[in-house]
Each structure stands twice: as structure tokens, then as C-alpha cells.
Amino acid sequence: EVHGWGRVFYNFMMIDWADALRQVGRRMLPPAKLEEGVVLPPSANDGVPAPLSVLVQAQGRDDKVARKVSEAALLQDWSGEDADLAKSWHNDLRYYGPGGIGLAQNSSGYRDHVLSPFQAAFAGRKVAVELSACEGNYCGFFGRLHGEGVGDWLGLPTRGRKVAFRFAMHYRVVGGKVAEGWTIFDFPGLFEQLGIDFFAVAAAGGRL
């Protein structure tokens, strides 16, 4: 069959399983330093993080600028060095992280409790983007984070392991910087790379 316009060719969705299981008392990750389970739509109510054309108010907004800022934030935060962290964000940012990470409501919380632990746990950090889309001032990216474990991350035995796990990150850009961001990680896939059957452990009651 020839794939044409107007038909879905491929669909992929990541679920925040760590937070879903936390809500039913089956923790797979240690309690986060930040508040968990809070994920809100954009505060401006002018689109969705996906982004989705019919819901984004794109008039007068430059998707090229949004892409440049979002790509910089993605690379600086997840593959950069300490001086790069949160450089492309507003200080009063809102970052909606998955279970095990939580909600950061300012740049210091984002650096200290989201980015710095990841940076400390992995050397050789690389971001490999596989899909991306920007509309108006919203951008979304899907790909893999690569790293060599030099410490444990989120209570997981990542030390001494090379990993490459999937992510989805979405950004709302305002005034040349990121104002809001949303992240999902493929924790079941990461667990598999560490030799742990995520769903079998969850079925047995969780790790913690």
C-alpha cells in the first residue's frame, strides 16, 4: 500500500508510567524533591504542547525563532555543561517533569533538581533528535538521550551502564526564551536496558 496524505502512517505514544503507578501506590522511583503529579496545559491557553495546528494561535509568532530557542534549550540542558543549564529559560519558568522528577517553578529548582542530578549521573551526554515539529511559539521533540553512567540516577543502578532512552520534550517560547516545558521519559525502556523488567516489578508491588 502506498502511504498518502490524510492517513496515519505511524503513531507512537509514551505514558508516564512512573507517575501512574505512583498514584496507585506502586512506586518505581524514589519520591522526587519537587512536587509530583502536576501537569497543566499552557498557562497562556493559546495552544497545546504537541503542537497541534488547529489549536495553536500562530498568527504573528515566529516558529523559526521558537525552534532555535527550543533546540538550544534541549541541547544545553541535556548534553551541555554546568554553565549551560537553563540558559535558554526564563527565571520564572514552569517545567512539568514526569514521575520521579516533578514540577519546577523557577530556574534554580529546574537546575538543582532536574538537570544537575542527570548531569552528575551521566558522562558523554548526547541528544539524538528523531522527530520535531514547531508551530507558532510551540515546539515538540522526540528522540533519545545517550549517556555513560558514572553514578545512579533517580535511584536506578545506572553507574557503569551505557544507556540510550527515549524522551518527548515540548516547549512554549515567549520573548526569546522558554517559559514552559513538558517532558516524558520512557522509563520502562530505561529499566530494560538496566536489566529490570519494569512491568513485572510493578505487578509485584513496585520497587519502593
Output the pLDDT for position 65: 96
Grid cell 497562556 is found at: 44
Helix boundaries (H) for the chain = 17-23, 63-79, 107-110, 116-121, 187-193, 198-203
Is the pTM of the predicted complex or chain greater than 0.95? no
C-alpha torsion 135→15→190→207, nearest 10: 150
- pLDDT digit string (tens) for the chain, length 208 residues: 566 677 777 777 899 999 999 999 999 999 999 999 999 999 988 877 777 777 777 777 889 999 999 999 999 999 999 888 999 999 999 999 999 999 999 999 999 999 999 999 999 999 999 999 998 999 999 999 999 999 999 999 999 999 999 999 999 999 999 999 999 999 999 999 999 999 999 999 999 8
Phi-psi region of 98 (alpha: psi -120 to 50; beta: other; left: phi over 0): beta
CB 155 within 8 A of CB 30: yes
Output the pLDDT for position 199: 98
The strands making up 162-174's β-sheet, listed across from edge to edge, are: 103-104, 89-96, 177-185, 162-174, 138-149, 122-135
Output the pLDDT for position 167: 98
